[in-house]
C-alpha cells in the first residue's frame, strides 16, 4: 500500500495556476485532495447523525413527526455518498472536479426548514412532557 | 437586483447554469460545502434546543409562557439559518468561480446576536420565576 506523499511546497501554486486561485494552504491535510473529499464525506455523515438525533428528540413528543425526521437521516447520508465518487487513490494529486451539486444542498436547506416548521407545530400544539429533564 | 430575481438565482437550476469564470480548485469547493454542512448542523442543533426547552423542561413558576418564549424563537432561527446558509454557499461558490474576494458573511453576526438575545431573555425569565 502506498502512503500518500505530501506535495512539495511549489505544488499548490502550480495547481492553482490553471484555476486562477492561490494555494489551498500550507497544512499538508489541506494540500492532499483525497483528504478534503474524505472530510466532506464525514461532514455529510455528521449531518445525517444530527438529523437522527433530532428525530429521536421529536419522537418523544410526536411519534409520526419523529419517524419522518428519522427517515430523513439515511436519505441525507445517501446524498453525502454522491459526493465521494470513487475511493481516493494514494496517487490522486487532484481529484476529478466534483459536481457542484446545488440540488443536494438545496434539498438539505429545504429539509431543515421543513423539519423546523414541523418542530414549531409540535412545540406549540404538541403534548409536552414537563419535567422530563428534572 | 430585485428580490424575486435574487431568489430565482438561488434555485439549483440557476446555480448549475452559472458557467461564468472557471471551475475552482476542488479543495475550495469541498471546503465551501463543509462550511454549509456545519451551518446546517448548527441550525439542527438550534431546533433540537428549542424543542427540548418547550417539550422537556418543567414550566417556569410565574411565567406560564416562558418555555415557548425561549424555545419557539430558537426553532425559527434554525429554519432561517438553514436558508441563509444555502444562500451563502451559492454566493461563495459564485465568488470562487470568478476568483473574487469571498463575500462578507452576516451569519456569525446573526448567530451571536441571537444567542446573546436568548441569554438575556433566559436570565429575565429565570429571575422572574425565582422571585415569584
Cβ of B50 and A123 within 8 Å?
A: yes
Query: Could you report the per-residue pLDDT of B20-50, keeping only the tens digit for each?
Result: 778 888 888 889 999 999 999 999 999 999 9
- B4 in a domain, yes or no? no
**How far is it, in rounded angstroms, from Cα B70 to Cα A125?**
16
Determine the structural domain holding residue B27 and report its residue range: 22-131
CB A61 within 8 A of CB B55: yes
- In the stretch 108-127 of chain A, residues with CB closer than 8 A to chain B read 108-109, 112-113, 115-117, 119-120, 122-124, 126
**Dihedral sign computed on CA atoms, order B4, B24, B37, A106:** positive
- B35 in a domain, yes or no? yes
- B9 in a domain, yes or no? no
What is the per-residue pLDDT for A32?
Answer: 67
- B44 in a domain, yes or no? yes
CB B75 within 8 A of CB B43: no
Question: Which of A10-14, A33-37, B16-20, B33-37 is the least confident region?
Answer: A10-14
Q: How far is B113 from chain A, CA to nearest CA, in Å? A: 20
**Pick from A20, A109, A132: which is nearest to B86 by CB?**
A109
- B69 in a domain, yes or no? yes
Q: Is B30 touching A (CB cutoff 8 A)?
A: yes
- For residues B115 and A3, which has the higher predicted lDDT (pLDDT)? B115
Q: Is A32 touching B (CB cutoff 8 A)?
A: no
- For residues A10 and A134, which has the higher predicted lDDT (pLDDT)? A134
Write a three-state SS string for chain B. CCHHHHHHHHCHHHHHCCCCCCCCCHHHHHHHHHHHHHHHHHHHHHHHHHHHHHHHCCCECCECCHHHHHHHHHHHHHHHHHHHHHHHHHHHHHHHHHCCCCCCCCHHHHHHHHHHHHHHHHHHHHHHHHHC
Query: Could you report the per-residue pLDDT of A40-83, keeping only the tens digit for each?
Result: 889 999 999 999 999 988 888 888 889 999 999 999 998 888 75
pTM for the predicted model, two decimal places: 0.79
Q: Calculate what percentage of chain A has a pLDDT beyond 70.
A: 57
Overall domain count for chain B = 1
Question: Within chain B, which residues score under 50 in pLDDT?
Answer: none
φ, ψ dihedrals at A64, nearest 5°: -65, -50
φ, ψ dihedrals at A7, nearest 5°: -65, 155
Q: What share of chain A is helix, strand, coil (3-state, %, to 5)?
A: 65, 0, 35
Q: Is B69 touching A (CB cutoff 8 A)?
A: no
- B51 in a domain, yes or no? yes
- B16 in a domain, yes or no? no
- B8 in a domain, yes or no? no
What is the per-residue pLDDT for A28?
Answer: 61
Cβ of B27 and A130 within 8 Å?
A: no
**Pick from A20, A105, A113: which is nearest to B22 by CB?**
A20
Shortest CA distance from B9: residue in chain A: A102
Residues of chain B contacting A81 with CB distance shorter than 8 Å: none
Amino acid at each position: 500500500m502506498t502512503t500518500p506523499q505530501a506535495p512539495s511546497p511549489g505544488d499548490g501554486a502550480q495547481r492553482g495556476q490553471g484555476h486562477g486561485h492561490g494555494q489551498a494552504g500550507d497544512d499538508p491535510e489541506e494540500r492532499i485532495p483525497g483528504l478534503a473529499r474524505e472530510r466532506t464525506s464525514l461532514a455529510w455523515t455528521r449531518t445525517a447523525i444530527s438529523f437522527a438525533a433530532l428525530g429521536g428528540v421529536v419522537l418523544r413528543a410526536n411519534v409520526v413527526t419523529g419517524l419522518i425526521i428519522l427517515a430523513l437521516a439515511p436519505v441525507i447520508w445517501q446524498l453525502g455518498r454522491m459526493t465521494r465518487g470513487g475511493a481516493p487513490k494514494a496517487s490522486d494529486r487532484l481529484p476529478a472536479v466534483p459536481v457542484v451539486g446545488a440540488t443536494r444542498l438545496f434539498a438539505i436547506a429545504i429539509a431543515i426548514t421543513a423539519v423546523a416548521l414541523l418542530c414549531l407545530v409540535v412545540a406549540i400544539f404538541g403534548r409536552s412532557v414537563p419535567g422530563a429533564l428534572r | 437586483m430585485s428580490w424575486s430575481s435574487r431568489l430565482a438565482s438561488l434555485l439549483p437550476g440557476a446555480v448549475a447554469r452559472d458557467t461564468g469564470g472557471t471551475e475552482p480548485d476542488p479543495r475550495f469547493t469541498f471546503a465551501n460545502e463543509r462550511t454549509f454542512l456545519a451551518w446546517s448542523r448548527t441550525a439542527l442543533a438550534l431546533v433540537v434546543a428549542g424543542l427540548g426547552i418547550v417539550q422537556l423542561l418543567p414550566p417556569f413558576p410565574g411565567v406560564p409562557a416562558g418555555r415557548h418564549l425561549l424555545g419557539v424563537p430558537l426553532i425559527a432561527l434554525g429554519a432561517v439559518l438553514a436558508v441563509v446558509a444555502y444562500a451563502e454557499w451559492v454566493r461563495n461558490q459564485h465568488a470562487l468561480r470568478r476568483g473574487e474576494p469571498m463575500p462578507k458573511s452576516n451569519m456569525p453576526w446573526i448567530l451571536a446576536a441571537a444567542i446573546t438575545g436568548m441569554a438575556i431573555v433566559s436570565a429575565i425569565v429565570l429571575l422572574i420565576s425565582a422571585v415569584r
